[in-house]
């Protein structure tokens, strides 16, 4: 009997991922809108044609819909939005053939494009979908040069087209990482960066003459023609530039880049010492994607690291998203957010309210990614990404019970869930485990 059930379950898993959205209403829920507000008891979420049409307190209306779910008081939230990730770009970190995160041997850097290589069948996408992440920014990482390449915004639904927006942002490493990649000094990284942007400006016809020369260190191409072309939307401000930087003085230097390149649409990634220059970041109107829990001087560029970094930046008026790399993998984002709530009870620390913390893993990263009010939030017109949870979503023990992306209910199965089912017991009295599936 058990085996028959198992077969049925796997058959369902194979045909999961229906192509069409269905209209639904979730009622009697503890609803977190994701916009920074505190949760709403006895809330309602209505999704039609793949979009949210209503989310908030129960207003006593009746609904015309395909499916009504009584949440029984359970938590309901928008899907989490993870940034910056490498989801869909690798299978096993240490298996280089399966790992497209870095292209250190490539002659290309800024020209690299994540969009065509995202694999929606990656186990990490399945695992993270089951953890409530429905959208993500994903990108190759800086490796051959200071430029990482062009990241994509993806959804984690089960269809064959994960890319929502290709070439959504460029990323560059300055600070220690950029120094290492550009020959050993921050000074070199800055020259390379400015040279690259000047070349892009020239190619765009915005000033100067294109030199089209390569910049090469030994066999390593630091900047080629294709990279310079890829930087045109950066220098014109059409494509956001994510700058990986941590040290307070490096942050100031990055903010000053707009003196020379005024149209740069920058986002700081890391900003481990951001709290020391929070007022300057706020004044510049530059958003930040920051690790939540870093509190050690892992390097000389984060001597001032503290878990209060995000809270202090927020209090200074900086828009801050909790980085998906705050834990060992992006599914730990809620844990990171919960820890920042915990800080609110520690004297001297700068903690977050629950609403602020949840927004920092939903609506804020969505807004930074170009989806303000459209994702990571339960508001009329937003994508119908709705997650039901078995507990407070920021608690470490909580997991989603149902996940909808664009109004489509998703499978929560993965390699991990299949292993879990196989090894619920170790009974091999009739056949080896290989037949238990």
Residues found near other proteins in the complex (CB under 8 A): 91-95, 123-124, 127, 248, 273, 276, 293-300, 303-308, 328-329, 331-332, 335, 338-339, 341-343, 345-349, 390-391, 394-399, 415-416, 419-420, 423-424, 426, 433
Beta-strand runs (E) in 109-146: 133-138
CB-nearer residue toward other proteins: 240 or 338: 338
The distance of closest approach from Cβ of residue 407 to other proteins in the complex, given in angstroms and rounded to an integer, is 26
Q: What is the 3-state secondary structure (H, E, C) of 367-425?
A: HHCCCCCCCCCCCCCCECCEEEECCCCCCCCCCEEEEEECCEECCCCCHHHHHHHHCCC
Which of 25-63 are b and which e, b meaning 16 or more Cβ less than 10 Å from the residue's Cβ?
bbbbbbbbbbbbbebbeebbbbbbebbbbbbbeeeeeee
Q: What is the distance between the alpha carbons of residues 61 and 153, in angstroms, rounded to a whole number?
A: 36
Q: How far is the CB of 298 from other proteins (least distance, A)?
A: 5
Is the CB of 15 or the CB of 426 nearer to other proteins?
426
Residue closer to other proteins (CB basis): 229 or 395: 395
Dihedral angle sign, alpha carbons of residues 285, 288, 292, 295: negative
**Contact status, residue 180 vs residue 143, Cβ threshold 8 Å:** no
Compare residues 65 and 101 and give the one whose CB is closer to other proteins.
101
With respect to other proteins, which residue has the nearer C-beta, 234 or 343? 343
Nearest to 361 by CA among 188, 135, 155: 135
Strand 163-173 relative to strand 51-57, pairing: unpaired
Q: Are 281 and 318 in contact (CB under 8 A)?
A: yes
**Segment (H or E) for 195:** helix 186-203
- Least CB distance to other proteins at residue 400 (A): 12
Compute the least distance from the CB of residue 283 to other proteins, in Å.
Answer: 20
Q: What is the closest distance, in whole angstroms, from the C-beta atom of residue 82 to other proteins in the complex?
A: 15
Distance in Å, CB of 95 to other proteins, minimum: 6
Comparing CA positions, the residue from 56, 34, 35 lying closest to residue 46 is 56
Closest distance to other proteins from the beta carbon of 299 (Å) = 5
Residue with Cβ nearer other proteins (101 or 211): 101
The residue among 2 and 420 lying less far from other proteins, judged by its C-beta, is 420
Q: Which is nearer to other proteins, 319 or 325 (CB)?
A: 325
For residue 43, the minimal CB distance to other proteins (Å) is: 22
Would residue 220 be called left, alpha or beta, if left means φ above 0 and alpha means ψ between -120 and 50 degrees? Answer: beta
The three-state secondary structure class of 343 is helix
């Amino acid at each position: 009997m058990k085996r028959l059930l198992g077969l049925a379950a796997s058959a369902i898993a194979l045909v999961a991922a229906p192509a069409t959205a269905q209209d639904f209403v979730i009622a009697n829920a503890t609803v977190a809108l994701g916009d920074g507000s505190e949760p709403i008891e006895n809330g309602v979420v209505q999704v039609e044609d793949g979009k949210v049409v209503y989310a908030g307190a129960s207003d006593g209306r009746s609904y015309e819909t395909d499916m009504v779910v009584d949440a029984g008081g359970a938590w309901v939230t928008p899907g989490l939005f993870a940034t910056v990730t490498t989801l869909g770009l690798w299978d096993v970190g240490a298996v280089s053939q399966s790992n497209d995160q870095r292209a250190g041997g490539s002659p290309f850097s800024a020209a690299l494009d994540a969009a065509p290589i995202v694999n929606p069948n990656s186990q990490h996408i399945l695992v993270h979908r089951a953890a409530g992440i429905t959208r993500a920014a994903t990108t190759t990482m800086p490796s051959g040069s200071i430029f990482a390449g062009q990241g994509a915004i993806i959804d984690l639904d089960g269809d064959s087209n994960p890319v929502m927006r290709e070439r959504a942002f460029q990323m560059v490493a300055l600070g220690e990482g950029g120094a290492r990649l550009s020959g050993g000094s921050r000074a070199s990284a800055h020259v390379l960066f400015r040279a690259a942007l000047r070349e892009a400006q020239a190619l765009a016809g915005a000033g100067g003459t294109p030199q089209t020369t390569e910049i090469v260190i030994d066999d390593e191409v630091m900047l080629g023609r294709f990279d310079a072309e890829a930087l045109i939307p950066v220098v014109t401000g059409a494509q956001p530039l994510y700058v990986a930087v941590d040290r307070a003085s490096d942050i100031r230097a990055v903010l000053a880049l707009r003196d020379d390149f005024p149209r740069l649409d920058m986002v700081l990634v890391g900003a481990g010492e951001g709290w020391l220059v929070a007022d300057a970041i706020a004044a510049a109107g530059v958003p930040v994607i920051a690790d939540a829990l870093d509190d050690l001087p892992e390097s000389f560029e984060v001597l001032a690291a503290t878990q209060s970094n995000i809270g202090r930046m927020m209090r200074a008026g900086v828009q801050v998203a909790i980085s998906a790399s705050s834990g060992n993998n992006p599914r730990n984002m809620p844990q990171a957010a919960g820890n920042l709530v915990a800080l609110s009870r520690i004297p001297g620390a700068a903690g977050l309210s629950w609403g602020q913390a949840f927004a920092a893993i939903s609506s804020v990263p969505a807004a930074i990614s170009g989806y303000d009010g459209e994702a990571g939030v339960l508001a009329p017109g937003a994508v119908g990404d709705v997650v039901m949870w078995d507990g407070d979503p920021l608690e470490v023990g909580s997991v989603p019970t149902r996940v909808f992306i664009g109004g489509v209910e998703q499978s929560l199965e993965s390699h991990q869930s299949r292993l879990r089912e196989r090894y619920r017991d170790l009974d091999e009295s009739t056949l080896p485990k290989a037949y238990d599936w």
